Chains A and B, each alone.
Chain A
Amino acid sequence: MGSPASSADRRDLTTDDYVPGGATQTAVKILVVGHFAVGKTTFIGSISEIEPLSTEETMTRVSESVDDLKGVRGKTTTTVALDFGRLTLSERVVLYLFGTPGQTRFVQMWEDMARGALGALILVDPERLADSFPVIDLIEQYGLDYAIAVNHFDGNPERAERALREALDLLDETPVVTCDARNEQSSAAALTTLVRYLLDRAS
């Protein structure tokens, strides 16, 4: 899944676009990560209360002198799309879900994303386990606690989980759940599993 289809025309914002009770809200975020086309955007779309948004971060090496346009000219830029959604959970907490591709080279973006995140849900496709290695490495590198959600699943869950734990070299305590990213309840259940785990770790 790539970015959500973007409607080129800018619409005016309505009340629903704003954070309900924003003046008292604390914003928290959880990352939804995984390799290309694993279903991150679908997952976010299935439980977000707003239509998922996408923003672009342009990856450039910051020029030594910003006044020196000549210096800026030579830089190569890469654009990375961040997809995200929102869930207002109470009058005190609003949760943002950020979906991000697992490319290792966008260090700057990862630092932005990981800083202050409660944890990460790693979506994996059992047919493409090797594609998840770099993503898991990154999440571990940034010290984020995570749970694994197996998307696109159809088969024997118990045998699959054993094989998957072994293949991904997971700790025994790392939660593994299957989910259908298109389904709201299923996505919510995966998220709940992650948060329970994070709470256990914090206690």
Chain B
Amino acid sequence: MRAGGEDFEFEPVDLVRAYVITKGRELPDDQELSLITLVTAAPTEGRRPTRLTPEEERLLDICSAGYLSVAEVAGHTRLPLGVVRIVLASLTESGHLMTRPPVPRARNADKDLLEEVLNGLTRKFG
């Protein structure tokens, strides 16, 4: 972005911020990081490398004490979902984050899952 000449205009703050956080990366296009993909920090030996951006650090911190869905990470950090997905994708790529994507839908898998859901609801609420 060149700040000079008469073309110069201020960008809306939110857009610039999101752009900077994501380093201009595009949204991951697969289902690796769907709303309900569960994520957690990968086990580390010793100290974390210091090359992470502040947002990467922040998201990794939140993911370090257990599993959360991508949606929950966004909810807790109040960052837009799109931004969260990009930062998490970057963390996954660099090996800092482990993901558990939902199982792909298939008739049989669905039936087992639905039975499990039904039993769970019945157990919980009688």
Contacts and interface: CB of A to CB of B under 8 A. Distances in A.
A23 interface: yes
A185 B125 CA distance: 7
A13 B117 contact: no
A158 interface: no
Interface residues of B, number: 58
The B interface is mostly helix, strand or loop, or mixed, namely: helix
Interface string A160-203: 00000000000000000000000011001101100110110011
Nearest to B37: A27
Interface string B19-45: 100001111000100111110100000
Contacts, number: 172
A93 interface: yes
Interface string A11-33: 00101011100110111110000
30 contacts: A18-B65, A19-B38, A22-B66, A23-B40, A25-B38, A26-B100, A26-B103, A27-B37, A28-B36, A28-B117, A53-B71, A54-B75, A56-B80, A58-B80, A58-B81, A69-B1, A73-B9, A73-B15, A79-B80, A89-B116, A89-B119, A89-B121, A96-B35, A115-B31, A116-B102, A189-B125, A192-B125, A195-B114, A198-B114, A199-B118
